[in-house]
Amino acid sequence: MKLAYDFSLPCTQQGSIQLADYRGKFILVVNTASRCGFTQQYQGLEQLQRKYKENLVVICCPCNQFAAQEPGSNRDIAQFCQTHYDSTFLLSDKISVRGKDTHPLFAYLQQSLPGILGSTMIKWNFTKFLIDRQGQPIGRFSPRQKPEEIEQVLKQLL
């Protein structure tokens, strides 16, 4: 049986992000965009990362597949996150989260945790997936669900 630990994400800044490096922590994986109506959620994601850093790692995965809301380069995106949110969360390179080029991690997460009415497809930016300390996906949160709602789930799990 596959675990989230079996996957890695491309990351120009550090070579790659190996999910296995975060064994024993909760992992929150989010497809993000810097020109989206939900972009302000970066702030809440950063707050989660700082507040729960001993127990949680937040990985933001920029994606330009939804209304071209992430047009910048990987460097531009990293600079945006640092400038506007003083980011400490992990940031992968831009990836695809749907279609024929879907990154394998997102294919796995979508199959493991279908959305409303059993649909596996990610419908918009800021869809969030929570992975437990054993590498099992345990929660899928819609773009409308704010990081503060995920904090309530984390508090129950800790």
pLDDT (tens digit per residue) in 30-45: 999 999 999 999 999 9
Active-site hit among 11, 36, 60, 81:
36
- In this prediction, residue 12 carries a pLDDT of 80
Dist. CA 104–CA 73, nearest whole Å: 21
3-class secondary structure, 11: strand
pLDDT per position as a tens digit, 88-113: 999 999 999 999 999 999 999 999 98
How many other C-beta atoms can be found within 10 angstroms of the C-beta atom of residue 154?
A: 19
Please give the residue range of the domain that contains residue 14: 4-157
99 burial level (CB within 10 Å; 0-12, 13-18, 19+): exposed
Give the pLDDT of residue 15.
85
CATH number, domain of 61, equals 3.40.30.10
pLDDT at 14: 78
Number of domains in the chain: 1
Q: Is the pLDDT of residue 131 over 90?
A: yes
Does 118 score more than 80 pLDDT? no
Q: Identify which of 129, 157, 143, 155 has the alpha carbon closest to the alpha carbon of residue 37.
A: 143
Our measurement of the distance from residue 143's CA atom to the centroid of its chain's CA atoms, rounded to an integer in Å, reads 11
Q: Quick check: is 63 catalytic? A: no
